[in-house]
């Protein structure tokens, strides 16, 4: 696998359901703190960021929080902007403070759980999201604002939806498909946009195929059609069309420098070979391509890393 000790692709997460993001390369050195150790044993160091909009937004959020330390919204944005710089451990610390200050605010657990996922602490992530599920029980859902608004400036996700989505992802990364299915099955209330239909359908399809529930898997993407209006989750959309036989493998080409989309294609096709006809040779080839070229914080990369480690070990 590639050596991630000296160079890491800094990931600016938009906190969208599909994990879409923009990236830029930053140089690292061995004196910098460690953000995570991958399941393959690679070290992910804290990146250095000298300038740019992400840093400016972070400084504004930090100042806002320091001026209003008892403002829950200010703390959340401070944590989010910190994570967008690749400072996941610092973001976890911020949200831990938030939980101490606002123990009944499900958002604190939702965001800390997300960064536990980024740092491969999946059991802790599950505990946080399950706690968040308890806290939102019986409450009205709310739209979550985007850290990086899409071109239509339409937030596509909600608090409840993101909690269930990330809980399902954490279980998926643990290969607990029964609980992953339970979590993603609770996202139907958030399917207000076509983007939600394809993001949830993509994961539900993969989970149910893994469980041998082929009819249910096909039903999960029944609503997907070529005329859907997709704002963000084009990679999930195309994969759902592929599952339905409406796109070929050759048509799922990399989309320029968009690592998130490329990672989705590479992982999902490899996974398709694995559960469709048990072709571990082709699956392994796609997984290794992903681990060599992908972004180590994309959801698809995390899934490929987990599957590869479980199926083939580190070698």
Average pLDDT taken over every residue of the chain = 89
The C-alpha atoms of residue 182 and residue 164 are separated, in whole angstroms, by 9
Per-residue pLDDT of 16-33, as tens digits, reads 334 433 333 334 344 578
DSSP category for residue 143: B
Domain boundaries, the chain: 50-84+87-190
Tell me how far apart the alpha carbons of residues 35 and 298 are, in angstroms, rounded to a whole number: 15
Identify the CATH assignment for 50-84+87-190 out of 3.40.1350.10, 3.10.270.10, 1.25.40.10, 3.20.20.70.
1.25.40.10
The 3-state DSSP class for residue 260 equals helix
Angle at 148 between CA 144 and CA 152, to 5 degrees: 85
| Cβ-based burial of 91 (10 A; exposed 0-12, middle 13-18, buried ≥19) | buried
The CA distance from 75 to 92, in Å, is 12
Q: What is the pLDDT of residue 257?
A: 60
pTM above 0.85, yes or no: yes
In this structure, how many other beta carbons lie within 10 angstroms of the beta carbon of residue 250?
6
Tell me the pLDDT tens digit for each residue of 121-175.
999 999 999 999 999 999 999 999 998 888 999 999 999 999 999 999 999 999 9
How many C-alpha atoms does 121 have within 13 Å on its Cβ side? 16
pLDDT confidence tier of residue 289, bands split at 50, 70 and 90:
very high
Q: What is the DSSP letter of 311?
A: H
The span from the CA of 139 to the CA of 60, in Å, is 31
Q: Categorize the per-residue pLDDT at 194 as very low, low, confident or very high, splitting at 50, 70 and 90.
A: very high
């Amino acid at each position: 696998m590639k050596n991630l000790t000296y160079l890491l692709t800094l990931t600016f997460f938009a906190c969208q359901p599909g994990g879409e993001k923009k990236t830029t390369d930053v140089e690292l050195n061995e004196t910098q703190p460690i953000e995570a150790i991958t399941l393959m044993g690679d070290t992910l160091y804290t990146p250095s960021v000298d300038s740019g909009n992400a840093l400016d937004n972070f400084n504004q959020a930090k100042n806002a929080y320091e001026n209003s330390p008892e403002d829950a919204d200010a703390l959340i944005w401070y944590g989010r902007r910190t994570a967008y710089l690749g400072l996941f451990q610092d973001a976890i610390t911020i949200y831990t403070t938030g939980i101490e200050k606002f123990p009944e605010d499900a958002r604190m657990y939702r965001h800390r759980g997300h960064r536990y996922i980024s740092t491969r602490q999946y059991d802790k992530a599950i505990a946080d999201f399950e706690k968040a599920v308890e806290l939102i029980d019986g409450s009205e859902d709310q739209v979550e604002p985007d850290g990086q608004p899409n071109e239509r400036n339409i937030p596509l996700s909600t608090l409840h939806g993101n909690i269930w989505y990330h809980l399902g992802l954490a279980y998926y990364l643990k290969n607990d498909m029964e609980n992953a299915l339970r979590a993603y099955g609770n996202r139907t209330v958030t399917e207000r946009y076509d983007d939600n239909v394809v993001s949830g359908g993509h994961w539900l399809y993969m989970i149910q195929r893994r469980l041998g529930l082929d009819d249910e898997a096909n039903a999960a993407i029944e609503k997907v059609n070529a005329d859907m209006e997709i704002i963000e989750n084009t990679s999930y959309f195309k994969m759902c069309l592929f599952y339905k036989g409406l796109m070929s493998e050759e048509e799922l080409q990399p989309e320029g420098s968009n690592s998130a989309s490329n990672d989705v294609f590479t992982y999902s096709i490899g996974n398709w070979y694995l559960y469709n006809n048990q072709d571990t040779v082709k699956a392994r080839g796609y997984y290794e391509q992903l681990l060599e070229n992908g972004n180590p914080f994309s959801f698809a990369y995390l899934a490929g890393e987990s599957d590869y480690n479980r199926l083939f070990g580190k070698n």
